Every structure is written in C-alpha cells, then in structure tokens.
Amino acid sequence: MRASASRSVGLHVGIALAAVGLAAISGCGNQKAAVDGDTAVLTERARQVATAWDGSTAAAAWRAGYHPMGEAVQLPRSGLRGQADKQAYEDQNFVLRGELPGTSPKDGQVTWPGGDSLTRPLVSADQSYTTLAGTHVGGEPHLTVTGVVLGEMTMTTSRGPATVPAWLFTLDGYDTPLKQAATVPSELFPSPIKAARDIPGHPLNRLVGITDDGRSVTVVALHGVCDDGVEMDVLETRGSVVLSTTVKGHEGGAATCTKQARMQQVTVKLERPVGDRVLLDARTGQPVPYKGSHGISPSPRGS
C-alpha cells in the first residue's frame, strides 16, 4: 500500500543529519539508485522485519511496557494566548516564581482503560521543569510558572490511551495548568533483527502522531534535494506495521545536486487501527521513535 505525502519541510543536512545521527548523503547517486532500484528489495526487507518481530520476545516486551506515542506536554485547555506566549513556549523561555516541590514519590502508576497498570519511575519536579524550560533564564517574551503539583494526564501510548502521573505547572494568567508527563518510559528490548546497511535511502526520522481511531499514522522521512519527495510503503500483519520509504522522481544533474536533505511529513492510512501492533521502520528493524512535530515548519518548496 502506498501513501502520498502530506507536507514537506526543508532542513540543511548539517542540522538534520547531525540531529538524528545519520550518515551524510553521498550526492545524487544514492538518490537515483533509490529511484531506479528494484523496490522488491525493500519489500522483502519489510517482510523479514515483520517475520522477525511477530511473536518475538521484543514484541511481547513492547506490549507489556509503557511507550509514549503522543505528546508528553499538554498545553492549558484554552491553548496559549497570543504570539508572545507561543514564542516563549517554542523558545523554552520560562520564569519560575516560587519553589519547586522538594520531594515526590519515586514511582507512579500508568493505567489503561481495560484495568491493566504498570509501575514506572517518576522524574522529579526539578527534572521536569528543566526539560520544559531548558537553560533559559528569563528575558522577553516568557511564561511565568507560579506553582507546581503532581497530578495526572491522559496520553497516547503503544497500548492505547493511558492515565499517567504528570507535573502540573500553573502559568500566570491561565486558569488551567500546563501538564508534562512525569513517568519514565520503558526501555526498548533489543530488536530481533539487525539494521539493513545495504539498502539505499534513510531510516524514518520520527513518529509525529496517530489519529484517535488508529487508522492514520504520520511520520517524518528524509529525502534529498534532487528528487520529488518520499513515497511510503506499508506492510500490515497481525502483530506489526512496517513502514518503508522510497524517493520519487529526480531533478537536476550531478553538477546541481548538493549534500542536503529535506524532512517530509507523510501520513499513511492503514487497513485497520494500529492497536497494540508494533510500528516498525523497515531499514532499522526498530520501532519508529516518537518525537512529535516540534521544530517542523513548512517548506517553501511544498510537497
């Protein structure tokens, strides 16, 4: 099943590839190989990944663990008001008025609607605030935190929606708090299949989100500046959903092709909801990491 791209974003390879730890693009040769190559190789790779994961110990550990698949931060119910507050949040520019809680429980319960629960370590209020505010020390514009208490929030996980402990940050001027999940995710079990090093192209950069009905998945993929963007293939099995990308078209010659990469946001529709199936990258053989859409902005090129 092939999906079309939803929107594309541009980013120089020096930033994009350093951020995700990928190897540099070696000119247009790899791009053209991905365009002209036999996609049967990637299709077979997807089958191998699905076969390795379905029924594996890694898949069982994935289903038994706590793996966030949605935003760890939830803004106040009414959202942020005005461009200044939105900019302060994007810049991680917060000012703390008062003191953070000095003590908190070491562990907390993640609970799912069916009654399943899991005990996981909690980050402290200080750690949570540092994640939220970074290293900024004020300036304008900024958001002011006037209080912090331990509460809870609902977020999407690999096992569906769950109620998790969260630090609730009261913001000056807002009636409802900003919430940040306090629960430490479960560690990933080693993949039952090694990454493929000999297939042209790039691993998926991130999972952005899954719709409430589980029928659509949005990811970010990398492609070169000398092609027409990304096409996504999906292999669905009973236990997994394997995503693999190829590039389409080819623009310019060797003289005009540069070592740059673009990030492209792609939405794929599934035949049935993701559910507790593992969402996998065909090239890495690993679950697609959730990172959200933070820092992704529209490309002037379009999709």
Q: Identify the CATH number of the domain in which residue 155 sits.
A: 2.40.128
296's tokens: 């992704």
Residues 212 and 271 in one domain: yes
Instruction: Find the DSSP H helices in 54-161.
Output: 57-64, 82-90, 125-133
Instruction: Find the DSSP H helices in 145-264.
Output: none
Contact 203, 283 (CB under 8 A): yes
Domain presence at residue 100 = yes
Residue among 64, 71, 73, 74 at smallest CA distance from 110: 64
Residues 84 and 165 in one domain: yes
d(C-alpha 215, C-alpha 158), whole Å: 14
d(C-alpha 134, C-alpha 208), whole Å: 22
Residues 195 and 276 in one domain: yes
Choose the final residue of a domain: 129, 146, 181: 181
Domain presence at residue 294 = no
Residues 58 and 202 in one domain: yes
Q: Domain count of the chain?
A: 2
Domain presence at residue 303 = no
Domain presence at residue 113 = yes
d(C-alpha 162, C-alpha 289), whole Å: 18
Per-residue pLDDT reduced to its tens digit, 89-117 = 998 999 999 899 988 899 999 999 988 99
pLDDT of residue 139: 75
Domain presence at residue 195 = yes
Instruction: Find the DSSP H helices in 21-65.
Output: 27-36, 40-53, 57-64
Residues 143 and 201 in one domain: no
Contact 136, 192 (CB under 8 A): no
Domain presence at residue 293 = no
Residues 111 and 50 in one domain: no
d(C-alpha 163, C-alpha 110), whole Å: 6
Stated as kind and residue range, the H or E segment containing 257 is none
pLDDT of residue 294: 52
d(C-alpha 224, C-alpha 165), whole Å: 41
Domain presence at residue 295 = no
N-to-C CA span, the chain = 19
Q: Which residues contact 217 (CB under 8 A, 6 or more apart)?
A: 207, 209, 210, 211, 241, 243, 267, 268, 270, 274, 279
d(C-alpha 106, C-alpha 290), whole Å: 25
pLDDT of residue 28: 43
Pairing of strands 107-111, 117-121: antiparallel
In this prediction the pTM is 0.76
Residues 198 and 50 in one domain: yes
Stated as kind and residue range, the H or E segment containing 19 is helix 13-20
Domain presence at residue 296 = no
d(C-alpha 175, C-alpha 101), whole Å: 21
Per-residue pLDDT of the chain (303 residues; tens, 9 = 90+): 444 333 333 333 232 333 333 333 333 444 444 444 557 888 999 999 999 999 999 999 999 999 998 889 999 998 999 999 999 999 899 999 989 998 889 999 999 998 899 999 999 999 999 999 987 666 789 999 999 999 999 998 988 899 999 999 999 999 999 999 999 999 999 999 999 988 877 789 899 989 889 999 999 987 666 666 778 899 999 999 999 988 766 554 444 555 666 788 899 999 999 988 999 999 999 999 988 655 443 322 222
Q: What is the identity of the amino acid at 232? A: M
C-alpha distances in Å from residue 90, one per residue of 26, 43, 78, 155, 175: 33, 39, 17, 21, 21
Q: What is the identity of the amino acid at 26? A: S
Residues 144 and 231 in one domain: no
82 is in which domain, residue-wise? Answer: 73-181
Residues 132 and 219 in one domain: no
Residues 22 and 162 in one domain: no
Q: Residue 2's CB: how many other CB atoms inside 10 A?
A: 11
The residues that bridge with 94 in the sheet, in sequence order, are 143
Residues 162 and 82 in one domain: yes
pLDDT of residue 97: 92
The residues that bridge with 160 in the sheet, in sequence order, are 157, 158
d(C-alpha 193, C-alpha 49), whole Å: 7
Residues 41 and 119 in one domain: no
